[in-house]
Structures are given as structure tokens and as C-alpha cells.
Amino acid sequence: MPTLIRLATNADAPGILDVVESVYVEYGFTWEPDGYNADLTDVEGHYFARGNPFWVAEVEGRVLGTVALDLFARIPGIRGGTTLHHEKVRVCDADCSVERLYVHPDARRMGLGSSLMESTITTARNKGRDTMEAWSDKRLTKAHRLYEKLGAQVVGERICHDPDRSPEWGFLLPL
């Protein structure tokens, strides 16, 4: 099946919410569409207005995957470590991060995660970025394998500020 990776619009919100909620249900995470997950209802305002792209993977007209790229000033510290930065543990030397990488459970093993990451990495490189961070709940082992396949390594851990206070691994991905 042909896959279309494209920039999202607010019209995609129902599909985006379906993808992310399906993963939350699968892993037993607390779903808060009006709280922690409210950014997904307004990707144009939350991501694009800040200069950060948000993509969807679409198959036969259905949104089945999501990812965003957050661009920011380089995080201080020695590469390969973590630091407390603006009250959050972050990966030292990172100048961008992958956010909201989710693939609907029905669409796994179709290469959507890899295609979404390719768009994210290519855009980051084109914007002059060279070090990406990724934070991922410790239970999301499929995402971890994808990050590691792309050359990322675990450099730290933290407790997420989500409603579940989820333990996360921090990955450093040289671009």
C-alpha cells in the first residue's frame, strides 16, 4: 500500500487523536485530550506557529502515524550526558528532538515509523541541526529499536511530566 508522509493540518486532528489514543490504550497510559494531549488538537498553533513541523503518515486516506520535530537552541553540557534544563532532564548537546512518534497498532511493520523518522531527520539536517534527542517511555521497545537502528544510543533516563509520571529513556541521535 502506498504511504504518504505529509505535513499535518488541524483538519487531521481526528486521525492524529485516533493514532495516539490507540497507543495510549494499548499501553495503559492515561489519555487526556483536553490536558496533556491537547497539543494534538491544534498542531498548526502548537507546532507550526513555533516553527516546528508535524507530519502524518497516511495510507489509503487514513492517518496511521504521527511525528513532530522540535527545534531549539543547543542544550548545554557534554555530549553523551544529560542535564537539568528548564526544569526537565534533557540530552546534552542536542539542538532538536523528535516528538509524538506514534504508529497505530493496526499499521505496525509497514515501515511507517521509519518513514516518519526519515522526514524528521532530513528536515533537521536541512535546518543545520546535528544532534537529536528522543525521550521514550521505557515500555515502548519498538520505538527504541527504531532509534537504535538509526544510530541512537541511550544516554539517560527521567520521569516524564505526563499524568502517569512515566519512566523514560533518553536517546542521543547524531545526525
Q: Who contacts 149 (Cβ-Cβ below 8 Å, separation ≥6)?
A: none
> For 127-140, how does the pLDDT look when each residue is reduced to its tens digit (9 = 90+)?
999 999 999 999 99
pLDDT in tens, 128-174: 999 999 999 999 999 999 999 999 999 999 999 999 999 999 999 99
The pTM is what?
A: 0.95
- Kindly give the pairing relationship between strand 131-137 and strand 96-103: parallel
User: How many CB atoms neighbour CB 95 within 10 A?
Assistant: 18
CATH class, range 3-174? alpha beta
What residues does each domain of the chain span?
A: 3-174
